[in-house]
Amino acid sequence: MSSDRPDVAEGVPQTEEEWRQELSPSQYQVLRKAGTEPPFSGKFVHNHDAGNYRCAGCGAVLFSSGTKFDSGSGWPSFTRPIDPAHVNELPDGTATEVRSTHGDSHLGHVFADGPRDRGGLRYCINSAALRFIHRDDMEAEGYADYLNQVEDVHE
């Protein structure tokens, strides 16, 4: 990745005070305090638009609309990240936590109950942890290299 690309944001907050200033209260609770938004309350649960989802904290590109599916869980669900290097998976007892690599922020959890024909994983991610970039806006926002990975949502 070149340094002029927004997938790995320079200037990611370093202190908790900087994070508080940068994020909304709900984003801060999810991303920095490992909170979970109530099921079916997030703005991306029913998003069916084509585009990419990036970390609301550090800006790293995380998931494509083509890997999103309706799991019935109440949270946006994806079968795989765009680039596995952008997420860390950490066992946390009953599930595996998913964190952004660059911002070390909580995103959600991954479970082994996803669609079998698409790898069997379900990345269950909080909407507050995400920023959506519509396919039509990706080039203008510096994500043209990811256009070939955008597909329509599989529901």
Residue 55 parent element (H or E): strand 51-55
Q: Which of 58, 60, 107, 124 is catalytic?
A: 124
User: Annotated catalytic, 124?
Assistant: yes
Collapsing DSSP to helix, strand or coil, 51 comes out as strand
Do 151 and 51 touch, CB atoms closer than 8 A? no
Do 62 and 86 touch, CB atoms closer than 8 A? yes
Give the C-alpha separation, 106 to 87, whole Å.
Answer: 10
Catalytic residue numbers?
124
